[in-house]
Structure 1
Amino acid sequence: MSIGLGIFLLVVGAVLVWALDLTITGVNLQLIGYILLAAGALVLILGLVLMTRRRSSVSTTRTIADPANGDQVTRRESSIDDI
C-alpha cells in the first residue's frame, strides 16, 4: 500500500509542478507540488525498504547430545521475521 501511495504522491506532485499553469492568490502550487514529490519519493523508498526487510528469514541449526544414549541430535528451525 505504501508503494502505491508513494507513486500517487509523485504523480500528483509532478502534475502540480509541470502540467498545471494555474494561479491561486496566496497559494504556490509549484511549491506544494515539490513538497508532494519529495513526500512521494520518501514514502516509496520507505515502502521498498520495509518490503525487503519483511522477506528476510532466519535459520537456526543446533546440535546437542541426547542425555539418554549420548547420540548427536540435530535440530533445524526456520522462521520468517515479522516486522
Structure 2
Amino acid sequence: MSIGFGIFLFAVGAIMAFAVNVSLDWIELSTIGYILMAAGAVTVIIGIALMARRRSAVSTEHRRTDPVSGESVTRRESDVI
C-alpha cells in the first residue's frame, strides 16, 4: 500500500510541478509539486525497505537422540519476520 501511495504522491507532484500553469499570488504550485514528489520518493523507499524486511525468514533445526530408544528426533522451526 505504501508503494502505491508513494507513486501516487510522486505523480500528483509531477503534474503540479510541470503541467499546471496556474499562477496564484499566495502559493507557488511548482514548489508544492516538488515537495510532493520528494514525499512520494521517500514513501516508496520506506515501503520497499519494509517489504524486504518482512520477507526475511529465520530457520532453526534441532537434532536430538533419545538415549533410551536411540531414536533421532529432528525439530524444524521457521519464523517469518
* Alignment partner, residue 57 of structure 2: 57
Q: TM-score, normalised by structure 1?
A: 0.85
Deviation digits for residues 17-67 of structure 1, max 9, x if unmatched? 111111111101111111000000000111111111111111101122325
Query: Aligned with 1:18: secondary structure?
Result: helix
Give the percent of matched residue pairs that are identical in Structure 1 and Structure 2.
52
Query: Aligned with 2:42: secondary structure?
Result: helix
Q: Which runs of 5 or more residues in structure 2 are unaligned?
A: none
Give RMSD over aligned pairs: 1.4
Q: What pairs with 1:1-83 in structure 2 (closer than 5 Å)?
A: 1-81=1-81
Provide the aligned length of Structure 1 versus Structure 2: 81
Q: TM-score, normalised by structure 2?
A: 0.87
Query: Aligned with 2:27: secondary structure?
Result: coil
Query: Aligned with 2:63: secondary structure?
Result: strand
Query: Aligned with 1:76: secondary structure?
Result: strand
Query: Aligned with 1:60: secondary structure?
Result: strand
Cα distance in 2 for residues equivalent to 1:67 and 1:23: 84
Q: Which runs of 5 or more residues in structure 1 are unaligned?
A: none
Most deviating of 58-67 and 30-39: 58-67
Divergent runs of 4+, >3 A: 67-72
